[in-house]
Every structure is written in C-alpha cells, then in structure tokens.
Amino acid sequence: MAGLDPSAPAASIASVTDRVSALSLPQPAASVHFLGTIAAFVGSEDNVMLVDGTAEARTIAAHGGGILCAATDGKRLVTGGDDGRVVAIDRRGEVAELAADAKRRWIDSVALHPDGAVAWSAGKTAFVRAPKQEVKSFEAPSTVGGLAFAPKGLRLAIAHYNGVTLWFPNMAAKPEFLEWKGSHLGVAFSADNRFLVTAMHEAALHGWRLADNKHMRMTGYPGRVRSMDWTAGGKFLATSGADTVILWPFASKDGPMGKEPLMLAPLKARVNVVACHPKEEILAAGYSDGTILMVRITDGGELLVRRKAGDAVAALAWSADGSRLAFASEGGEAGLLVL
Amino acid sequence: MSAAPAPSSASDKIPVTVLTGYLGAGKTTLLNRILSENHGKKYAVIVNEFGEIGIDNDLVIGADEEVFEMNNGCVCCTVRGDLVRIMEGLMKRRGKFDAIILETTGLADPAPVAQTFFVDEDVQTKARLDAVVTVADAKWLSERLKDAPEAKNQIAFADVIVLNKTDLVSASELAEVEARIRAINPYAKLHRTERCQVALADVLERNAFDLDRILDIEPDFLEAGDDHDHDHDHDHGHHHHDHGHGLKHYHDEDMQSLSLRTDQPVDADKFMTWLQDLVARDGARILRSKGILAFKDDDERYVFQGVHMMLEGDHQRKWNDGEARESRVVFIGRDLPEQAIRDGFAKCVAA
Ligand SMILES: [Zn+2]
C-alpha cells in the first residue's frame, strides 16, 4: 500500500482524458442532458446552458429561482423550479412555459413520456398533461418524491411516503398502490415494463415485480442512491451510492431476487452519478473525488475519462446515439468527450 | 498527490434554528423580531402555515411537517421528509441567505426535525442544527403542561426557552411556571420576556448541537443569578423573588431529567456497549442525551449527544492540566428507568 495510491487509476488503466474537451460554463451545473448533439447543462439557479460541440455556452433564462428538477426526451428539456413554473426548452433555446402553479409552490419533480405527455408534481399533487388534453391531477397521500412514466400506455408511477401509486390518468380505474414503508424518492420502470424500482431516502432501493407485486429489497449501500440508470437492453440497473458501481441483474423473470449484484469500478471514493451508454454495454460513472470512468459491463474493463480532481462529479449524460459523453462537476467544471 | 479537500467545518454549514412553542405563545412575534432586527444577516424561513401569518421576508418556504418512520420497525425513529426536500432545494440558493429558521406548529414534536439532522447525509453535510428554541406562554404553560403532551415535549427538547408574557403573571405564578419547566428540563437556557424581547444572541448561534461546544452540562438555574435580567423595562417586583435560590421544587410525573456523574475513570468499551443498549431498549423514552466522558487511559475528553435512539459522539480535545477528569451524562425523557440507568452507569466505572 505504501507509496502506491490505489485511488489513482491513472497509473494503471487506459486513459482518454486527452480527448476530453473542457467546456466553460457561466455557472455550475447540477445535471446535464442531450438535445440531439447539444448538451444542455442545468444550472442550480435560473439558467440552462446550451453547448453545441465546444462552442461557447448559450445561457437560457428558464426560471426566476432555483431549478429543482429536469427531464428530457431527447427533443426538449423540461425543468421545474422554485418559482412554481414548468418550462420546456428546445435545442434552439426556445423557452415555452408548460405550467405555472397557482400557489407558486415548488415544482419538485418532472417526467416525460415518449409520446409527448409531461408530468410534474408540487407538494402532494401530481399533474399530467397529455398532448391535446387538459391537465389532470392526482392527490398523493403525502409529498411526491418522484415520477416516472411506464414505457407503454399512459401510466404514471408516483413515489411518496410508504410506497408508490400507479395512476392511469385517462382511465377511471382506481390507482394501484404498491406499499413499502419509508420515503420513496426516485422511481423507474424497467424498459420491458415488468419491474418498478424506487430509490429510498434510506440507503436502499426497493422494487416490485409488477405481475404479482412481489417485493425486492436491494440494500447494503453505504449512502443514499441518488443516481440510477438502466444498461443498454435493460439487463442491469446501474446505481450510485457505494464505492463501486452496483448493478442489479434484471434480465431473468425474478429480477435481482436472490441474486448478488455486480460490483464494478471500485475506487476509494463514492459513486455520485451513473449514466449508461444507450446502445453498448458500457456505462460512465462519476465519483466524489472527481474521477470519471467508462466501464465495460461484460468484463469490468475501465477507461479513464477524468482524473481525480478533488471536485466531485455532479452530472453525466450520453447523447442518444452514444457518440458523446458530457459531464459537470460540483465546482463548475464541465467537459465533453466525442467518441 | 494532492491532498483531499478538507471536510467542511461547522462554520461552513448553514445554521438552522428550530422555533417551537404552543399556539399563541409568541413564536411569530419572535420570528418577526429576528427578521426585522438590523443584524445584516439574511434568513431563509421555513414556516408551516404558508401565507397565513404575516412574515416579512424574501425567502419564506411553506412546509408540510410530513414525518415518516424509518424502515427499522421503530416508532421513535422518524424523519421530517419535507425538510429533506426543502433543504435540498434551498441549497441550490446557497449564497442568498446566511441562516435558516424553521418554525414548527404548536403541536409538533421537535424530535423528527433533530433526527433528520442525524440521519440525512445531505442535510448533515450542508447544514447544522443550531438549537431548539421553545417559546412558552408564562400564563398558560402550566395548564398546557397538564393537558398537552406536545407542550411538554417542546420544553423537554429545548436548548433555549423564551418564557414570554411574564407581564401577565404575578411573581408567584412566574415562580410556579419556572419550577414546572425546571422539573422537566433544568438544562435549557431560560429567558423571561415580554413580547419576546430577548437578545438575539440568546436565541441564535447557540451551537447547542455542536459536539465541540458541549463544554458544560450544568443545570441552567445554578447560574441564573447573572442570566435572568433581560426584562429591562419591567423591574417592579422583579427583585422580590430570587430565581437562583428560592426555586420551588417540582417533580414532573412523566417527564424527567437524570444526571449522572463520577470522578472515577470510565471503561470505554463497557460504556459504549451500555449506552448503545440503553438507547436501543429505552430510546423511545429518551428525548435527548448528552455526555462528557473521561475514559480510562485516554487523554482526550469524549463527548456524545443523542436524540431518542440516534447517537453521535467523538473525542473532543485533550483534558487540560489540572482539569478535573469527571464524567457527566444527562438524560431527558419520559418515564425514565432511573434506577436501572444509575446501576448501568455505575457498572461502567473502570475496575
Ligand atoms: Zn426508534
């Protein structure tokens, strides 16, 4: 151990750091999303910054206050703010207001459906607006922690305290309630619509197999899971929260029940954010010490994208075609890797 | 290799003052005083009844006081979920304010707020609980302590008690209500006020939850002589009773404090095991705990504090030369098993 710092992978693994272009952002970004080939960096206050290639960032005034949440379908970025507004921004930087909360409540979460429906929440209320339809709302039993659309049909998962409600905004059917004690924050459907997973306030994930509502407990994290993403083809759910990337297997009909997760890319730092390549079995992981690794899921092979910098990674995203990887750090650095 | 960034010290963290108190005691009066005073500081205020009470401040956030139980099957291990969310949102506006004041409803139990700071990693790294300040109505508190368990919780939990509306009670009524407060919580700093006229330094920046500041855990009334004269415009009758010595002694039926001390060195392993077992078993009844320990063969003071089952502790500093190496532990709680606690602590003395 002495003399050798195992947390410095630079010495031992292949590096593409020389192919990363540094981007200069006018303010630190909390998340990043791709609109085609344009990287949209969401600042924590007021602004979204659009970066085309390595050109200078275009600052788009989106909110009059903090931006609390953001989601994208690849064509537009939808954000919710503490100004009570939900806005959409396209790749040209056009801003459209989708909703303004009557009581100016904080917009805590947003979600987008591939067919154009938008969902958002303020306090206990979840809202949905499908294309050419009126806004519909649902009162959750407690504050909404997260939203996700099912991949098929208009069905919204609403995470809250003690479980998740599955709501069909266009149907009279009573919403379905999946119960599990605790506070549920992030929520995601598997791409095949068979599983639903929540990231809880405690350091654990909870899952349900939707066919029979069978529970799946995914525990053992040292910290809260703030980032999760499905690998290409939906074989694994990659997650942050530990000092390795934790990947839960979802390919079989039982999902991760009774199985051990895959643990890749261990470092002496916490994984803050994960982003899976849209086509290949590759993921990018950003760590609390600033390191960014690209990891091949099949054999755990690693490629260094950003060296340990002392400045934690805040955001990572792949473009839909998988040719670009963008990142932002808590200290305000940002970069772009074109493959 | 570059050094890792230094962990953020207590002073980098945004201080959060929790303002509790029964309805009508004067919480809003105190809040508005804090906000209007010329201190050059900007506050973010988290209030429950959003928009209903007049608060003149730029940053006012409405809270739902949503408490959820953690998934450990224990009813006392609770977290304010809305607070986690609000703190996360507020931290995006860091730089726009210097401190946070969190006002709770009159019916709220302060424990979930405090526990949120013990449990939530994000809240903990960015903010720190400064103190629980309870505003009490001198005229009605004695009654409330009889019929409202939440009023008792708020007194028991307090680091600072602002005993307000003292102008509306006689000297003997005041002595009575103070004695009732002291029966529950002898450690809080108590300030007698009219219209919440308390020096802001007495309610803000108290560092009551800072392990480094757990210097003394002596009952407040022992030093009441130099601490109690804040009612400058009201000294008639004031000197007729002496808070320090003439205090009536009450025993509260269900809420007590228990103080243990020894000048014998304590066995660290035995003590840690005992303390953890105690809070695991009786944590639901223990609202707060605090202690300074002199462990055998240890040159540093060990300090700890807890809320129900949640504990945090650390070595604080070296014992000074000539300083009496005395261990002191304090519990405030409901129906405390006093004898069992005393016996358990006695067994921790190093052989
Ligand atoms: Zn408990």
> What is chain A's pLDDT, residue by residue, as a tens digit (339 residues)?
333 344 444 457 899 999 999 999 999 999 999 999 999 999 978 899 999 998 999 999 999 999 999 999 999 999 999 999 999 999 999 999 999 999 889 999 999 999 999 999 999 999 999 999 999 999 999 999 999 999 989 999 999 999 999 999 998 889 999 999 999 999 999 999 999 999 999 999 999 999 999 999 999 999 999 999 999 999 999 999 999 999 999 999 999 998 999 999 999 999 999 999 999 999 999 999 999 999 999 999 999 999 998 899 999 999 999 999 999 999 999 999 999
pLDDT, residue A74, reads 94
Taking contacts as CB-CB distances below 8 angstroms, the residues of chain A near B92 are 30, 44-45, 66-68, 82
Question: What is the phi-psi region of residue A182: left when phi exceeds 0, alpha when psi lies from -120 to 50, beta otherwise?
Answer: left
pLDDT, residue B7, reads 41
For the stretch B300-310, pLDDT in tens is: 999 999 999 99
pLDDT at B11 exceeding the cut of 70 = no
pLDDT, residue B217, reads 66
Taking contacts as CB-CB distances below 8 angstroms, the residues of chain B near A11 are none
Q: Say how far apart CA A80 and CA A138 lie, in whole Å.
A: 18
Subunit contact B68:A182, Cβ cutoff 8 A: yes
pLDDT, residue A148, reads 98
Subunit contact B71:A202, Cβ cutoff 8 A: yes
Q: Say how far apart CA A79 and CA B92 lie, in whole Å.
A: 14
Taking contacts as CB-CB distances below 8 angstroms, the residues of chain A near B5 are 310-311
- What would the mean pLDDT of B320-344 be, rounded to a whole number? 94
Q: Is A25 on the interface with B (CB under 8 A)?
A: no
Q: Phi and psi of A307, rounded to 5°?
A: -75, 155
A230 CA to middle of ligand 1, Å?
35
Q: Is A182 on the interface with B (CB under 8 A)?
A: yes
- What would the mean pLDDT of B186-209 be, rounded to a whole number? 93
SS (H, E, C) B191-251: EECCCCCCCHHHCCCCCCCCHHHCCCCCCHHHHHHHCCCCCCCCCCCHHHCCCCCCCCCCC
pLDDT, residue B247, reads 58
B78 CA to middle of ligand 1, Å?
7
Q: Name beta bridge partners: B313.
A: B304
Question: What is the phi-psi region of residue B282: left when phi exceeds 0, alpha when psi lies from -120 to 50, beta otherwise?
Answer: alpha
- What would the mean pLDDT of B188-206 be, rounded to a whole number? 93
Taking contacts as CB-CB distances below 8 angstroms, the residues of chain B near A311 are 5
pLDDT, residue B133, reads 97
Taking contacts as CB-CB distances below 8 angstroms, the residues of chain B near A310 are 2, 4-5
Q: DSSP state, B351?
A: -
* Whether B159 contacts B190, CB under 8 Å: no
Mind telling me how many Å the CA of A45 is from chain B's nearest CA? 6
pLDDT, residue A41, reads 98
Taking contacts as CB-CB distances below 8 angstroms, the residues of chain B near A287 are none
Helix segments in chain B, DSSP class H: 27-36, 81-90, 111-119, 121-126, 141-147, 149-157, 171-184, 268-282, 338-346
Subunit contact A44:B92, Cβ cutoff 8 A: yes
Q: Which two tokens stand for residue A209?
A: 């197999």
* Whether A167 contacts A147, CB under 8 Å: no
Q: Is B237 on the interface with A (CB under 8 A)?
A: no
pLDDT at B252 exceeding the cut of 90 = no
- pLDDT band, very low/low/confident/very high, at B239 (cuts 50, 70, 90): very low
- pLDDT band, very low/low/confident/very high, at B237 (cuts 50, 70, 90): very low
What count of other Cβ atoms lies within 10 Å of the Cβ of residue B279?
Answer: 21
pLDDT, residue B236, reads 38
Q: What share of chain B is helix, strand, coil (3-state, %, to 5)?
A: 30, 25, 40
Among partner residues A66, A106, A181, which is closest to B69 by beta-carbon distance?
A181
Taking contacts as CB-CB distances below 8 angstroms, the residues of chain A near B61 are 106
Q: Is B263 on the interface with A (CB under 8 A)?
A: no
Q: Say how far apart CA B139 and CA B96 lie, in whole Å.
A: 39
A160, A181, A198, A206: best to mutate for the B interface, most B CBs within 10 A: A181
B190 CA to middle of ligand 1, Å?
29
Indicate the pTM of the whole model.
Answer: 0.87
- pLDDT band, very low/low/confident/very high, at B57 (cuts 50, 70, 90): confident
Subunit contact A201:B1, Cβ cutoff 8 A: no
Q: Is B49 on the interface with A (CB under 8 A)?
A: no
Q: Say how far apart CA A106 and CA A82 lie, in whole Å.
A: 4
- What would the mean pLDDT of B311-329 be, rounded to a whole number? 92
Half-sphere exposure of A1 (CA within 13 A, CB side): 1
pLDDT, residue B351, reads 76
Q: Say how far apart CA B127 and CA B93 lie, in whole Å.
A: 13
pLDDT, residue A118, reads 98
- pLDDT band, very low/low/confident/very high, at B213 (cuts 50, 70, 90): confident
Among partner residues B2, B4, B70, which is closest to A202 by beta-carbon distance?
B70
In A53-116, where do the E strands start and end?
Answer: 58-72, 76-81, 85-90, 95-100, 109-112
Q: Say how far apart CA B225 and CA B228 lie, in whole Å.
A: 6
Strand, coil or helix: A331: coil
For the stretch B153-178, pLDDT in tens is: 999 999 999 999 999 999 999 999 99
Question: Which range is most confident: A295-304, B46-55, B249-258?
Answer: A295-304
Q: Say how far apart CA A109 and CA B198 lie, in whole Å.
A: 41
- pLDDT band, very low/low/confident/very high, at B1 (cuts 50, 70, 90): very low
pLDDT at B238 exceeding the cut of 60 = no
Subunit contact A68:B92, Cβ cutoff 8 A: yes
How high is the mean pLDDT of chain B?
Answer: 85
A205 CA to middle of ligand 1, Å?
21
pLDDT, residue B24, reads 85
For the stretch B62-97, pLDDT in tens is: 888 899 888 777 888 999 999 999 999 998 888 889
Closest CA to A332 of A318, A304, A316, A312: A312
